[in-house]
Copies of this chain bind each other. A is one copy, B any other.
């Protein structure tokens, strides 16, 4: 077991893993906790309206954390604030949904930028990306879960934004996080990469799929690979994880050892799937592939899996 410890933690090198906030989940239930955070001098408000974050720009640098007065000008409703956590210096961060339109921002000095574009765009530092990923996932959960799945009644937010409660049947609902198995399957000096039709031209990546009720992580890896590629996988080793707020996944990255070679592509899921030699993958990572092929996007855990395998001796 313990020999599995390595010198570094691969999960820390995945996108959105740099969130520095202390969530203080043990304090969320106190009725006066969120109100006190909102009025704390210096509190920061991350405002998101219909998928777009509202940011200020100071000397070219984007800033996610508005002050309370600025959030108020965006008609953000403090009753819907979610307490995200405190920075190490004790500054509270809160997420706020906003009805602000592009028109209403005219002349305010604020910019609206699609949250997904921000999360994939490289303009924010790791700490800001981590906070934005947390905020987007939980606000999106509120947006899509306003009614009780058990009885259909409109629910109410509680616990500083981390629970919804049904006033009819009493059910409590918590933010949903969907575990996804994502895997690099290897066979000697080759690894298995696939292409979904929606990928950019030339892009290949790891196979992946949702872990289902009644499965271990390892069994889900073997099932997904068998379904998508026809390849049989024996041993599976966990490598790294990543929060993926599109909308609410926990990516669980593994290596799998193939015990067969012949590929049968599931054409509903993939438009191509094949074995790539390690040297070719290296050229796909560093942008020197003769046909312009590439391997996984920056920030994606698939790239972590592929790079770490490619560099392994």
Also in contact, A237 and B151, with CB within 8 A (given A25-B212, A243-B214): no
B152 close to A237 (CB less than 8 A): no
Work out how many copies of this chain go into the complex.
2
Interface residues of A in 84-125 (CB under 8 A from B): none
> Bound state CA distance, A215 and B12, in angstroms?
10
Query: Whose C-beta in chain B lies nearest to the C-beta of A236?
Result: B9
Also in contact, A19 and B215, with CB within 8 A (given A147-B148, A177-B179): yes
Q: Max chain B CB contacts within 10 Å: which of A3, A134, A216, A236?
A: A216
B2 close to A312 (CB less than 8 A): yes
Contacts of A165 in B (CB 8 A): none
Interface residues of A in 43-83 (CB under 8 A from B): none
CB 8 Å contact bits of A149-170 with B (1 = contact, 0 = none): 1111110000000100000000
A19 close to B239 (CB less than 8 A): no
Contacts of A309 in B (CB 8 A): 1
Contacts of A12 in B (CB 8 A): 216, 218
Of B134, B213, B216, the contact of A214 (CB 8 Å cutoff): B134
CB distance from A181 to the nearest CB of B (A): 10
Cβ of A201 under 8 Å from chain B: no
CB distance from A30 to the nearest CB of B (A): 11
> Bound state CA distance, A251 and B268, in angstroms?
31
CB distance from A3 to the nearest CB of B (A): 7
Also in contact, A213 and B141, with CB within 8 A (given A2-B255, A25-B227): yes
A211 close to B250 (CB less than 8 A): yes
Of B1, B130, B252, the contact of A308 (CB 8 Å cutoff): B1
B11 close to A216 (CB less than 8 A): yes
> Bound state CA distance, A12 and B237, in angstroms?
13
Cβ of A217 under 8 Å from chain B: yes
CB distance from A57 to the nearest CB of B (A): 24
Contacts of A17 in B (CB 8 A): 216, 219
Cβ of A242 under 8 Å from chain B: yes
Also in contact, A214 and B137, with CB within 8 A (given A309-B1, A312-B1): yes
> Bound state CA distance, A248 and B214, in angstroms?
8
Also in contact, A149 and B151, with CB within 8 A (given A5-B257, A26-B227, A179-B179): no
Given contacts A2-B255, A11-B217, A138-B213, 15 further A-B contacts (CB under 8 A): A1-B239, A2-B237, A5-B257, A9-B235, A11-B218, A19-B214, A19-B215, A25-B223, A133-B214, A135-B214, A147-B151, A152-B152, A174-B210, A177-B179, A215-B243
A-B contact pairs, 17 of them (CB 8 A): A1-B255, A2-B255, A4-B238, A11-B218, A23-B212, A130-B214, A134-B215, A138-B213, A144-B149, A145-B149, A147-B151, A177-B211, A214-B245, A215-B250, A216-B240, A217-B252, A218-B241
Closest 5 A/B residue pairs (Cβ): A134-B214, A137-B213, A147-B152, A238-B238, A11-B216
